[in-house]
Structure 1
């Protein structure tokens, strides 16, 4: 069939005979002429309809996996821990995984997440955020989706009633007694001691490797750090004399270079340390020692805020301020961690008013 549209002559195939009958070809031709009268190119309109039909074949589960693959490089350990994908896998995909993503609207999302919206608020929030990323990923692929569906679903679900709870932490005044009770010399006790002394997160501590030590400095690789801009730089941790003594003691357990190996393979789990504290009757958890350290900095020292925050591996200040501030305060943090360690080990008064600060 030949048509003229916008001053251009177009040739449009109507289908192969005998698969397409003469009657069907005439119907397609009549429809194409009607489109021309409306100022539309029948060939482009046919292609557009094909794209729309194809978009309906893109199921959410496939888009979710594709979105996950494209973001692995941004995730710690390439997302192998499963924390990014798990909220979708457990709470969204069982209900919406086989639904074409172009058909998903705010009501579908509301009905899917309403059972956990208040009871598992943090998980529901993560699932909603991941679903929003999937919708934007689909839009970037050229699929017809409602990228505002998650915002509309939040409006339908309302404000979450659940109040987030902070991880229980020991008051800093009680840390020395607990630290000094870790005298058994086991892998778990040594890991807890070093965790307290360095105020780092559990993940880099559990994956502490011999080649990360250079004298009295422990350098944590960028990929093991959480919350640092772009995770492009490693983080240096000054090791106090007490921390170095703990490391020397832990070397007898070293396996494949890791100082805190698991029972059979790999390294000890975060649950290992948590369970140890639970068995000892403590509500506090290992991660809480970072809060203990930060409270000590605020209440018992006059250390500047930016040094205390840097000691925790936090990024402080605006982007302009960070661009001009190139130091990581290693020398000042070294004195700070030495004072903290002395207090934990009971080598100074409980007030920890060390002259070094």
Structure 2
């Protein structure tokens, strides 16, 4: 009997009738068309006892014509060796019931993945961010599917609607789906390549993030205006003004300043050592303190007692991230962000000084992207960075 009689166009154009009917591809493979328009691949065969058998392969178009033919060929091999594929399928289903892990859906796998990895994430908010994006975009499409049934088409149904308009979110979501499916494969819940992988797969189906993402830059002050800004800042009485000035003088990140404690700071050595667990790159960072930074620290009300350097509303509790934002609002400088002052410092170092690029990058605690250079570099250029930070403070103090 001839095989491969159907074409995909015929499958797509097959219209529902008032009763169920089938169109034949050959070799026992049929496409069932129901009155409600749903279509399913079926395989007809002869059982070992001579009776006719019928087994479902999968829905069309999620199960494509070529996939249905491959499944038919595998089923024919089972029949040829004297087994009944329907019996084997029931046996496999019973085995899955006895092994709860094998019945997990993608949503259940994602929940287990998040629970397992939450303790290893630096930011406790990451778990909620994972849950939120998966709940909003992934679960409605693939949440009820078992990992082994998730294919490229399903992944694209999740990503395509938001890939252009919300690319940053979509890119993170793709990575999260990829990680969950990798976890599922290690657990024995799926086989084959990961349909959410980017390189060599989705990069051929979706535009590169760099092509559709609009770069976001933190609002930054021109370095030529930093002196005037500091003058205005010093007219503010709030402790948050001192915190912002210290952040500008040290070019540190907001969270590094907020979490600073007095036992990290050596006034006599003019050095602030931020421990690895509080750094973005998880590496200890030594910050040389300029004379302006030392003067500011000596005048703080928390000086001389243990605990945080920049105290919040409650005693010995750090100020919140919102404190600096509210300060900028009171100063009517909503055009600026605290993080943007790191860009101000970087622009000044590049355009107004002769310090090497790596000195400024280390002052900002940026990791070295070149792996070879990173492997050979052991020092942190502290002496050179001390000169740089003092030059930065001197520049700020001009007319301030």
Pair in the same fold by TM > 0.5? yes
Matches within 5 A, 1:288-327: 288-316=340-368, 318-327=370-379
Q: Deviations over 1:64-106 (max 9, x none)?
A: 2332344345421456674555433444345544443333333
| 2:195 aligned to which of 141, 145, 148 | 148
Cα displacement (A) at 1:179: 1.9
Shift of 1:249: 3.4
Residues 48-78 of structure 1, C-alpha deviations (whole Å, 9 max, x = no match): 6666675662122332233234434542145
Alpha-carbon deviations, 1:292-315, whole Å to 9, x = none? 111111100010111111111012
Contact 1:60 1:98 in 2 (8 A): yes
Deviations 1:105-154 (A, max 9, x none): 33333333334322222122111111111111111111115512354556
SS at match of 1:236: strand
Q: Is the 8 A contact 2:141 2:157 kept in 1?
A: no
Query: Structure 1-normalised TM-score?
Result: 0.74
Which residue pairs with 2:32 in the alignment?
A: none
Q: CA RMSD in A?
A: 3.6
Higher strand proportion: 2
Aligned length: 313
Note if 1:182 corresponds to 2:196.
no
1:336 and 2:378 are equivalent in the alignment: no
**Higher mean displacement: 202-211 or 247-256:** 247-256
Structure 2 vs 1, CA of residues 128 and 149 (structure 1 numbering), >3 Å: closer, same or farther?
closer
Task: Give the distance between the partners of 1:39 and 1:248, measured in 2 at CA.
Answer: 88
Evaluate the alpha carbon distance shift between residue 130 and residue 164 of structure 1 in structure 2; reply closer, same or farther with a 3 A threshold: same
> Any residues of structure 2 matched to 1:1-357 within 5 Å, and which?
38=81, 57-72=103-118, 74-77=120-123, 82-83=128-129, 85-93=131-139, 95-144=141-190, 147-151=194-198, 155-159=204-208, 161-183=212-234, 184-215=236-267, 216-226=270-280, 228=281, 231=282, 233-252=283-302, 257-263=307-313, 266-279=317-330, 280-316=332-368, 318-346=370-398
Deviations 1:244-266 (A, max 9, x none): 22223344399971223443585
Structure 1 residues 210, 337: closer, same or farther in 2, change over 3 A? same
Change in CA separation of 1:191 and 1:97 when aligned onto 2, cut-off 3 Å: farther
TM (normalized to structure 2)? Answer: 0.67
Q: Counterparts of 1:290 and 1:191 in 2: how far apart (Å)?
A: 14
Alignment partners' CA distance in 2, 1:272 and 1:89: 32
SS of alignment partner, residue 286 of structure 2: strand
More divergent stretch after superposition (129-138 vs 214-223): 214-223
Alignment check: 8 A CA contact 1:179 1:344 kept: yes
Contact 2:155 2:195 in 1 (8 A): no
CA contact (8 A) 2:177 2:196 kept: no
Query: Unaligned regions of 5+ residues in structure 1, if any?
Result: 1-25, 349-357
Structure 2 CA distance for aligned equivalents of residues 346 and 220 of structure 1: 28
Distance of 2:396 and 2:252 partners within structure 1: 15
In the TM superposition, residue 218 of structure 1 has moved relative to its aligned partner by: 1.2
| Aligned partners of 2:227 and 2:399 also within 8 Å | no
Q: Is the 8 A contact 1:77 1:223 kept in 2?
A: no
**Partner Cα distance (2:101, 2:173) in 1:** 23
What displacement does 1:189 show? 1.1
The higher-RCO structure (CA 8 Å, 6+ apart) is 1
Q: Is the 8 A contact 1:110 1:154 kept in 2?
A: no
Question: How has the CA–CA distance of structure 1 residues 93 and 258 changed in structure 2, closer, same or farther, with 3 Å as cutoff?
Answer: farther
Mapped contact 2:141–2:154 kept (Cα < 8 A):
no
Gaps of 5+ in 2: 1-47, 54-76
Answer with 81-90 or 122-131: which moved more.
81-90
